[in-house]
Amino acid sequence: MILPILHQALIALPLLMGAYITFSLLKLPDFSIESAYLFGAVMAYVAGDLPLPLIILSASLGGAMVGAIVSTLNQYLKLPFLLGAIITNGFFHGLTQYVLGTSMKSFHPALMFSEHFLFVLVGICLVGIVGISLRSQLGYSLAIYGNNPLFFQHHPTSGSYVTFFGVIVGHACAGIGGFLFALSNGFVDLTMNFGVILFCLTALILGKSLIRTNRPNILVPLVGLVAYFCVQQTLLHVGLNLKYFNSFQSLFILAALFCLSKKEKISLDHLGV
């Protein structure tokens, strides 16, 4: 049971890192992370004949492109973030279909080492980079913006810059996650981003429940990720059909919000997801 949990957690780690930045720290309704996840895999497919570092870079740039567009719509065209995310999702859905030309493409890039070693290497690098960043002034700026966006009006730092940068970094991480998922499955599929939002919300709620802190903390997505797949594997072992798992996640999120609102009178924003 431990190996499947570890394998799945390593694949999903970049995605949840990105979701932690945008959902938990910036507190944005970041539905466009679905497009970043899928388009990162698409860009990796396009760069499939290049060396592995360039494939990973292409995946991160694919995700970052989604983040740049939704941030531009929000920060500079002044659209509500949720509306900008919906528009961005629609645009990249069509762009993805155009690039792939079909609903599914085989994806088997040449690797110099095993997939599992690659997942571990990417995970260690991301945990190190994101963990150090969260303990820096940038990490605290992201958290400050999420708790009080008006704070930056009275300081020289631009709130628009903080949001723009945070969303791009979060989406770049999601793009790498899409690449790892496609690599693990051996194909890029137009529906591979289905359920991404539910997964992120569920894992982050678990992480926030187990790691009680108001400061940026890399342990929140890490613990939430492990807890999520432990719960998933446990439910599978007791006989839950995997096709019903999204329904289970939805009910779990609803129950968590209901219990927390009764106990602490807090909203979804204050939950930090």
| Distance between start and end Cα atoms, the chain | 28
Tell me which of 2 and 224 has the higher pLDDT.
224
Per-residue pLDDT band at 235 (split at 50, 70, 90): confident
Q: How many Cβ atoms sit within 10 Å of the Cβ of residue 270?
A: 13
Mean pLDDT of 20-47: 94
Q: Say whether 101 sits in a helix, a strand or coil.
A: coil
pLDDT at residue 40 above 90? yes
The amino acid occupying position 167 is V
pTM for this model (two decimals): 0.91
Please answer whether residues 59 and 147 qualify as being in contact, where contact means their C-beta atoms are separated by less than 8 angstroms.
no
pLDDT digits (tens, 9 = 90+) for 114-164: 899 999 999 999 999 998 988 888 888 888 877 777 776 666 566 678 889
Tokens at 12, concatenated: 């999903």
Any idea which of 14-28, 44-58, 182-196, 241-255 has the lowest mean pLDDT? Answer: 241-255
Please answer whether residues 141 and 156 qualify as being in contact, where contact means their C-beta atoms are separated by less than 8 angstroms.
no
Tokens at 258, concatenated: 């209901």
pLDDT at residue 27 above 70? yes
Residue 218: phi and psi, rounded to 5, are -65, -20
**Which residues face 189 on adjacent strands?**
104
Between CA 215 and CA 223, with CA 218 as vertex, the angle to 5 degrees is 110
Mean pLDDT of 7-32: 93
Q: Hunting for tokens 């810059």 — which residue is that?
A: 161
Rg (CA), the chain: 18
Q: What span, in angstroms and rounded, lies between the C-alpha atoms of 103 and 179?
A: 16
pLDDT digits (tens, 9 = 90+) for 48-58: 889 999 999 99
